[in-house]
């Protein structure tokens, strides 16, 4: 049943992504100021949102592990962090490509860009910490604390364009309070593509969590074998 749900969700997400690509490339016009390159936003922003939602989920799972000492929460936090690192990288890379066309440079030490990079590196450090510790309980506890301490950086990233005057554009979506920003059809496509990417994120987390649980079971069997 679990596999069927994953496959079914994957088929739906893929079909939705294909539909969204058709709308982006064939139906939506070029943006008045930026031309065709603005279409990066349909992947740049959803990747960032998936990263942030996953970071929130990993923090909640880490808190639950510290409270309940149930390793399934640790497995979920680890799986989620691995997956969101991919989407964080997509956000950073697409942002650099977009910046090259919009600003004439690949990178600027802008508040949002810098805070996003720091958050991404911190979550990469989370995975490095897990690899450095062999004892399962210690590894899960230290990793949970690091995940909790890292999440405030995500909040800073989300609010950076509101808190500081930055080179990065300010809010352009109506849900962010800008009623005269992005065209309604473009916004709808952005939200639909976010749904597709969020579904792929969930699928990858489910698969990776199962692998993490199996890995822990194998580690337990190895320790039992060595103790005999």
Q: What is the 3-state secondary structure (H, E, C) of 22-91?
A: HHHHHHCCCECCCEHHHHHHHHHHHHHHHHHHHHHHHHHHHHHHHHHCCHHHHHHHHHHHHHHHHHHHHH
220 pLDDT exceeds 90? no
Q: What is the pLDDT of residues 50-105, one digit of tens each?
A: 999 999 999 999 999 999 999 999 999 999 999 999 999 999 999 999 989 888 89
CATH code for position 124: 1.20.120
Q: How wide is the angle at C-alpha 65 spanned by C-alphas 67 and 68, nearest 5°?
A: 40
For 131-140, what is the mean pLDDT? Answer: 90
Residue indicated by tokens 């910490």: 129
Question: Taking a C-beta distance cutoff of 8 angstroms, is the pair 194, 1 a contact?
Answer: no
pLDDT (tens digit, 9 = 90+) per residue, 179-217? 666 788 888 999 999 999 999 999 999 999 988 888 777
Residue 17, domain member (yes or no): yes
Tell me if 122 is assigned to some domain: yes
Tell me if 125 is assigned to some domain. Answer: yes
Number of domains in the chain: 1
Is residue 33 assigned to a domain? Answer: no
- How far is Cα 88 from Cα 157, in angstroms, rounded to an integer? 12
Residue 221 covered by a domain: yes
Phi-psi category of residue 31: left, alpha or beta, with phi > 0 → left and psi -120 to 50 → alpha: beta
| CA atoms of 48 and 55, how far apart (whole Å) | 10
In a domain, 31, yes or no: no
pLDDT for 14 beyond 70: yes
In a domain, 32, yes or no: no
Residue 117 pLDDT > 70 = yes
Q: How far is CA 9 from CA 42, 47, 201, 219, in A?
A: 20, 18, 11, 31
Classify residue 26: in a domain, yes or no. Answer: no
pLDDT at 177 over 70: no
Res. 227 pLDDT band, cuts 50 70 90: low
What average pLDDT is seen over the chain?
89
Domain ranges, residue 137: 2-21+38-227
> What is the pLDDT averaged over residues 29-34?
81
């Amino acid at each position: 049943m679990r596999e069927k749900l994953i496959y079914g969700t994957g088929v739906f997400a893929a079909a939705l992504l294909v539909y969204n690509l058709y709308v982006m490339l064939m139906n939506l016009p070029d943006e008045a100021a930026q031309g065709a390159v603005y279409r990066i936003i349909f992947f740049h922003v959803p990747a960032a949102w998936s990263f942030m939602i996953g970071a929130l989920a990993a923090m909640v799972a880490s808190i639950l592990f510290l409270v309940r000492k149930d390793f399934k929460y640790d497995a979920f936090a680890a799986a989620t962090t691995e997956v969101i690192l991919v989407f964080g990288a997509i956000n950073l890379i697409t942002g650099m490509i977009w910046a090259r066309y919009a600003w004439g440079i690949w990178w600027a030490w802008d508040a949002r860009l810098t805070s996003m990079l720091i958050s991404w590196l911190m979550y990469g450090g989370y995975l490095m910490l897990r690899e450095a510790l062999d004892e399962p309980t210690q590894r899960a506890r230290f990793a949970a604390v690091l995940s909790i301490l890292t999440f405030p950086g995500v909040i800073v990233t989300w609010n950076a364009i509101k808190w500081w005057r930055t080179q990065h554009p300010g809010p352009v979506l109506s849900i962010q309070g800008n009623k005269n920003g992005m065209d309604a059809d473009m916004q709808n496509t952005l939200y639909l593509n976010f749904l597709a990417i969020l579904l792929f994120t969930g699928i990858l987390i489910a698969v990776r969590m199962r692998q993490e649980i199996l890995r822990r079971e194998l580690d337990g069997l190895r320790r039992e074998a060595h103790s005999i």
